[in-house]
Amino acid sequence: MFKVVVAHSDDPDSQDAITEILQQCNRDLGGIKPQAGILFAAIDFEHELILQGLKQVLGEEVPIVGGTAGDQFRFENTYQFFGDRVLNDSLPILTFSGDILLSYGIACGWHPIGRKSIVTKAKDTVLYEIDGKPAVEYYQKYLGDRPPSAENPLAVYEGDSDRYYMRVPNTHDPQVGSINFLGDIPEQSVVQLTDISRDEVIAASEISFNQALKTYPGNEPEAVLLFSCCCRRWLLGTRAKEEYQLVKKAFPQEIPICGFYTYGEFAPLQPNSPTYYHQETFVTLLIGSQ
């Protein structure tokens, strides 16, 4: 049986927070010894202290995997947990194997506007030209004097399909006409400007988990992981909680649900296809056993 429990604490003291979490997990596991854990922690906790506490209680043989969602838009540094260490600029990976069932769904809620265009000059995260003209000029054609912002990301299409992933503009250079994005945009890729409807952005969480439910290979999942971009949280403001509320209503009360706001999401655009790096996207992962 695949047993999953979720615990959380909002105690500002790191030692008290980890003590509370471990007590909740031990209680809900009913004496069963865990084999792995995923830890999410905000940027301002004392991460070394949290890991020392986990290691003392769980022992050396239990892997501890997790990481912070970001650094509260400081764009200075982030931390990742790996075993008994706190790292930065790293990528810890937790691999599941055995009789595990899973499915996933993705959605964003932004809708493309205008016509599709071609990226004619770009380097890494800097977009210089679209259709042979400065990238800033492309944005001005649709937005006027409004600077590029997270409200109007670019949809980057996968080849000739209608599927796309999102790229969020960060800063721009009005002199050069370039825009720096929070992710790479390949040259010759097909792009389209998008517009925001907050109702549709919230509804995307429901679309995401409905996709996952539709393709789930078992009767009912035993755990739900949610990954939502921090830009969605910022743009939705007080309505951000509605994302989770839609998911929570769709599943029985006893199924544990957890997740975090990310600086970007990883998922294929459809089943059995390559994984892409997404932004401003809501990803649902369902996990269970046969």
pLDDT at 237 over 70: yes
Q: Residue range 167-174: average pLDDT?
A: 94
- Side chain identity at residue 282, one-letter code: F
Which of 31-40, 74-83, 103-112, 187-196 has the highest mean predicted lDDT (pLDDT)? 187-196
Residue-wise burial string across 117-137, b where 16 or more C-beta atoms lie within 10 A, e elsewhere: bebebbeeebbbbbeeebbbe
Instruction: Name the average pLDDT for the chain.
Output: 85
- Percent of the chain clearing pLDDT 90 (strictly above): 39
247 exposed, middle or buried (CB, 10 Å; 0-12, 13-18, 19+)? buried
72-122 pLDDT per residue, tens: 777 777 778 787 888 887 767 676 667 888 888 899 999 999 999 999 999
- Contact between 172 and 154 under an 8 Å Cβ cutoff? The reply is no
Using 50, 70 and 90 to split pLDDT, how confident is the model at 65? Answer: very low
- CB hemisphere CA count around 289 (13 angstroms): 8
In the chain the domains, ranked by start, together with CATH numbers, are 1-95 (3.30.1330), 112-195 (2.40.30)
Helix spans in the chain (H): 14-29, 47-58, 135-143, 198-215, 230-236, 241-250
Angle among Cα 242, 244, 246 to the nearest 5 degrees reads 70
Residues facing 180 on adjacent strands: 126, 171
- Contact between 215 and 106 under an 8 Å Cβ cutoff? The reply is no
Q: Any idea which of 6-15, 130-139, 150-159 has the lowest mean pLDDT?
A: 6-15
pLDDT of 48 reads 55
pLDDT of 290 reads 78
Q: CA distances (Å), 9 to each of 17, 62, 157, 169, in order?
A: 5, 21, 40, 34
pLDDT at 157 over 50: yes
Q: Is-above-0.85 flag for pTM?
A: no
- Contact between 202 and 234 under an 8 Å Cβ cutoff? The reply is no
